[in-house]
Chains A and B, each alone.
Chain A
Amino acid sequence: MCLAVPGKIAAVLEDENLGLRRGKVDFCGIRKEVCLDYTPEARVGDYVLVHVGFALSVVDEQEAQRVFEALRELDQLDELQESTP
């Protein structure tokens, strides 16, 4: 139920249907119209997390990388341990 899917904003619609801020969001090739009212800071090119037609968060791309950096450090730690007799 709480599924939210990341998609890239392809366009912010000027013609404001419903009076709400709307945009076209690309989900791996499928484009859907999404309400952007809750993410006023979102711009074309941003990734947003979308739940039942509403963008609820802009993906922080720097934070998204963090886990991979941590894994690289773990990898180096492993190599270090393996090379130590």
Chain B
Amino acid sequence: MIHEGILRYRNARYLWVTLGLLAASVLLYSTQGGLRPAGGGTWQGYTLGTLGALVIVWLAWLGIRKRSYSSTAGTVAGWTSAHVYLGLALVGIATLHSAGRFGWNVHTLAYALTCAVVFTGILGLYTYLSFPQQLSANRAGGPRSQLFAELYALDQQGRDIAARCNAAINTTVKTSIERTALGGGVFDQLLGRDRSRVVLDEGHEGGGRFVSNIDQQAVIDYVARRVTRADKRIETASLQTLVLILCRRQAVLRRIRRDILLTAWLKAWLYFHVPLTIALIVALIAHILTTFLYW
């Protein structure tokens, strides 16, 4: 798996590259203060700035490159490892370049965006390091599509059996299947919100109306109560099978819902990381250009 070794890739080769880069940057920074006060305008500042800009461009390119699985240049784990460590080094280089001089200007904007990109990257790294194991455990080894196939099969079985039961049961089970909600909007996915609903039979609580069917509990409870009230043995057997199917369905839905939630979190950071990176590149161009517009 990609996530397992990105920090320790080849004895943390890129950690040492990063530390070396940072040490060189600190050394370069410390030679300032003579001719001019430390800042982006000294030759050391320009060097650090150029280094930072090159790292930004390279990391952005790397972000695209490491997703190109057809590439033969290096492994995905290697690229990711380099991306993570150099991204962290960038904060140090940018800070040394700025020499701690901040203000409400385009230069600090570029710095702030750099920090924001790296911060979202760190969130991404955290999800990459911790969520895949949870995902894998939740799916019990198989892919998500298998869970959906299972759900589809259970839906069909549930419908078939429900069709053989009385109209009230049929309506309830059918609507519970039809109104089962998975995923949905941004917050539904990220919070794992369950908007499933069901129509319960007249005479029951909420009868004839759509009621919340969170975790399919309402429909299971409804059918389970009907098991004890069934008149005929055949009907009892059908209802028991139905309860069994609904419970299996509940378990599958739980797995799918958790899978969607974990996957959403695993990807959510990218919706900030990528646009912020693009904004950073624009701000970086503005930062460099304005430096030379008025210099």
Q: Indicate whether A and B interact.
A: no
